[in-house]
């Protein structure tokens, strides 16, 4: 049985509609108007134990709302949801014992308590038995190098230190699912990498299922093998990260730097490449030219060879698509899954 199962899961919010200014406020008071917002619109999602899934989408796409329904905080408007066999919002407390949650923007620690007292209190709240508490505490302290931080109150920690402590706090009770909401937001590169290594290890060694929402594409590439993308409350893509690369990764770009400014570059190149399947040719600056093409229909060599014959090329560079660029384009609506022909 899958660990997380959602079927036709939907959440509608009622939002007040207010006109601006005092007049609007008074009007709202006399005749309140509301509009329905469909935050999550009938999604189906199945996650097996031990998976590591990136849940991505533009702001307001419905990511957090989904996670809040999975954790039992938000009650779905309709549809079915089960986590570890439990309906989260009906059995919130039991579900809470099996999950760990990290909010990148908000700490789980008690602000004014030394970190170790927060950890101790969480051990009490989750009723972690003595031996398991000792073992888990040692493990996270060592892996996240928390030793020097244990006696510091949470409010005095830097963002990176706090995030390490928050991760420790979310794992003390040995959850089977870990929800990470923007875990590396605002951190510097070195700390981000350290946090990723740790999460990867927890997923691989402890077989903790990870559901990660992030805007940091390096998080996604570094941690997850599966990508679920949500847009306007609906799932736009669900599949292996590798598949994204294969489906959208055929596009390449050759950038040419010309020996001198060459105003008619585009026309010359278009003419030279007439019978090759190019997607777009662009001349951002008089001495630069870029050619976008589909690697299934043309080779970089053929294109470069022809252009070097007609233009004074000094230097050239080939861009391969990164997951980052693909996802960014998906966000911005530049790529469409449907147009690709392949059924998702």
**Residues found near another protein in the complex (CB under 8 A):** 13, 39, 57, 59-65, 68, 71-75, 92-94, 96-97, 99, 101, 103, 106-108, 110, 112-113, 116-117, 119-131, 133-134, 137-138, 141-142, 147, 150-151, 233
The CA angle 152-154-157, to the nearest 5 degrees, is: 75
- Min dist CB 40 to another protein, Å, is 8
**β-sheet with 313-319: strand ranges across:** 278-282, 288-294, 251-258, 313-319
Nearer of residues 228 and 289 to another protein, judged by Cβ: 228
Which CB atom, from 153 or from 222, has the smaller least distance to another protein?
Answer: 153
Q: Based on CB atoms, which residue is closest to another protein, 117 or 221?
A: 117
Distances (CA, A) of 183 to 106, 153, 195, 202, 300: 10, 20, 8, 14, 39
Closest separation between CB of residue 177 and another protein, Å? 11
Close Cβ partners of 265 (under 8 Å, ≥ 6 residues apart): 258, 283, 286, 289, 311
DSSP conformation letters of 32-79? -EEEEEEEEEEEEEEE-TT-EEEEE-STTSSHHHHHHHHHTSS--SEE
- Least Å distance, CB 309 to another protein, is 52
Comparison of 64 and 203: residue with beta carbon closer to another protein = 64
Token pair in block for residue 264 = 């008619």
Cβ atoms 108, 170 nearer than 8 A: yes
Nearer to another protein, 176 or 292 (CB): 176
The least CB distance from residue 216 to another protein, in Å, is: 16
Torsion, Cα of 287, 293, 236, 59 (10° steps): -10
- Considering the complex, what minimum distance in angstroms separates the CB of residue 218 from another protein? 22
Could you give the CA distance from residue 95 to residue 84 in angstroms, rounded to a whole number? 8
Least Cα distance to 293 among 324, 320, 272, 333 occurs for: 320
Instruction: Return the number of the residue (183 or 265) whose C-beta is nearest another protein.
Output: 183
The secondary structure element, H or E, covering residue 227 is strand 226-231
**The tokens of 257 are what?**
């730097």
Nearer to another protein, 65 or 184 (CB): 65
Closest separation in Å from C-beta 119 to another protein: 8
Other Cβ atoms closer than 10 A to 301: 8
Q: Least distance to another protein from the beta carbon of 15, Å?
A: 9
Q: Which is nearer to another protein, 72 or 265 (CB)?
A: 72
Q: How far is the CB of 329 from another protein (least distance, A)?
A: 20
Check: CB of residue 270 under 8 Å from CB of residue 280: no
> Between residues 147 and 320, which has the closer beta carbon with respect to another protein?
147
CA dist 33 and 128 (Å) reads 48
Question: DSSP H helical segments within 206-322, as ranges?
Answer: 217-223, 241-248, 265-272, 300-310
In angstroms, what is the minimal distance from the CB of 197 to another protein?
18
Q: Which two tokens stand for residue 144?
A: 């996240």
């Amino acid at each position: 049985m899958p660990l997380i199962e959602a079927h036709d899961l939907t959440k509608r919010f009622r939002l007040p509609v207010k006109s601006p200014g005092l007049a609007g406020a008074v009007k709202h008071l006399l005749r309140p108007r509301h509009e329905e917002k469909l935050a999550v619109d009938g999604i189906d999602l199945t996650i097996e134990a031990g998976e590591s899934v990136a849940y991505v989408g533009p702001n307001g796409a419905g990511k957090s709302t989904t996670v809040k329904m999975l954790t039992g905080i938000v009650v779905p408007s309709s549809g079915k949801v089960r986590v570890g066999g439990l309906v989260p919002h009906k059995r919130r407390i039991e579900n809470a014992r099996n999950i760990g949650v990290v909010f990148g923007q908000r700490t789980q620690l008690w602000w004014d308590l030394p970190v170790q007292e927060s950890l101790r209190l969480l051990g009490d709240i989750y009723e972690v038995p003595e031996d398991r508490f000792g073992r888990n505490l040692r493990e996270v302290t060592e892996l996240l190098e928390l030793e020097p931080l244990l006696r510091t109150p949470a409010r005095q920690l830097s963002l990176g230190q706090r995030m390490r402590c928050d991760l420790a706090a979310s794992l003390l009770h040995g959850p089977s699912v870990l929800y990470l909401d923007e875990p590396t937001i605002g951190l510097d590169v070195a700390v981000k990498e350290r946090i990723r290594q740790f999460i990867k290890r927890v997923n691989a060694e402890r077989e903790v299922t990870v559901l990660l929402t992030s805007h940091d594409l390096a998080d996604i590439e570094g941690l997850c093998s599966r990508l679920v993308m949500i847009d306007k409350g609906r799932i736009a893509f669900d599949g292996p990260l590798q598949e994204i690369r294969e489906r959208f990764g055929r596009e390449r770009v050759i950038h040419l730097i010309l020996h001198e400014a060459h105003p008619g570059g585009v026309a010359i190149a278009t003419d030279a490449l007439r019978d090759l399947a190019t997607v777009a040719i662009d001349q951002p600056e008089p001495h630069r030219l870029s050619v976008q093409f589909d690697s299934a229909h043309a080779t970089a060599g053929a294109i470069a060879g022809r252009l070097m014959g007609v233009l004074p090329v000094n230097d050239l560079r080939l861009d391969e698509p990164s997951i980052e660029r693909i996802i960014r384009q998906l966000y911005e609506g530049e790529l469409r899954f449907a147009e690709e022909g392949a059924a998702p």
